[in-house]
């Protein structure tokens, strides 16, 4: 429809603000540079056919101080109907601590309110708090996705999400 959807850079994110439960791992995350990560493209190729175009990037996700935390590929496929698929195929350095999170930051126009996702829900779920959630396809809105907590630390997460539109 000739509509610009991505008007800003996208960013791979592995950092989140540490919460009380992270007291012991926080130092390892900071030492590994998780709070200052960059995605470096080492190679790329464009694959095009009649119905879609794919941009395949070989990437390293790293900070300046230590070896890459993640290495592999990132593929953006744009289909003829306008749908976009983003696929990461990465290997984590065995010496690096576990990732606080893994996600792709995409800034969309403020008119985009509806969220459909396949992941844990229907309420927020986290690595250490998921017994009340289950894996399924869910619908919500940006406005309703946040939580109201007495002591807010994290809000709106749906762990194990693999599809979002």
pLDDT at 90 (0 to 100) = 97
pLDDT tens track for 151-164: 656 666 777 787 77
Query: Does residue 165 surpass a pLDDT of 60?
Result: yes
Query: Does pTM surpass 0.75?
Result: yes
Average pLDDT for 33-54 = 95
21 DSSP assignment: G
pLDDT at 151 (0 to 100) = 62
Q: Which residue has the higher pLDDT, 68 or 124?
A: 68
Q: Which residue has the higher pLDDT, 128 or 95?
A: 95
Average pLDDT for 28-42 = 94
Calculate the alpha carbon distances from 150 to 18, 38, 57, 130 in Å.
17, 34, 42, 19
Domain residue ranges in the chain = 8-108, 113-165
Q: Which residue has the tokens 């590994």?
A: 32
pLDDT tens track for 74-114: 999 999 988 889 999 999 999 999 999 888 888 888 888 99
């Amino acid at each position: 429809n000739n509509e610009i959807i991505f008007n800003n850079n996208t960013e791979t994110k592995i950092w989140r603000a540490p919460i009380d439960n992270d007291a012991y791992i926080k130092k390892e995350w900071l030492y590994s540079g998780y709070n200052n990560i960059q995605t470096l493209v080492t190679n790329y190729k464009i694959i095009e056919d009649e119905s879609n175009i794919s941009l395949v990037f070989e990437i390293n996700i790293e900070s300046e101080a230590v070896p890459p935390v993640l290495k592999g590929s990132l593929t953006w496929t744009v289909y003829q109907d306008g749908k976009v698929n983003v696929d990461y195929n990465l290997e984590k350095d065995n010496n690096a601590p576990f990732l606080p999170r893994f996600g792709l930051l995409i800034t969309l126009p403020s008119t985009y309110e509806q969220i459909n996702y396949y992941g844990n829900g229907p309420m927020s779920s986290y690595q250490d708090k998921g017994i009340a959630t289950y894996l399924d396809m869910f619908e919500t809105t940006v406005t309703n996705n946040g939580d109201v907590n007495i002591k807010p630390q994290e809000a709106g997460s749906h762990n194990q999400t693999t599809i979002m539109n």
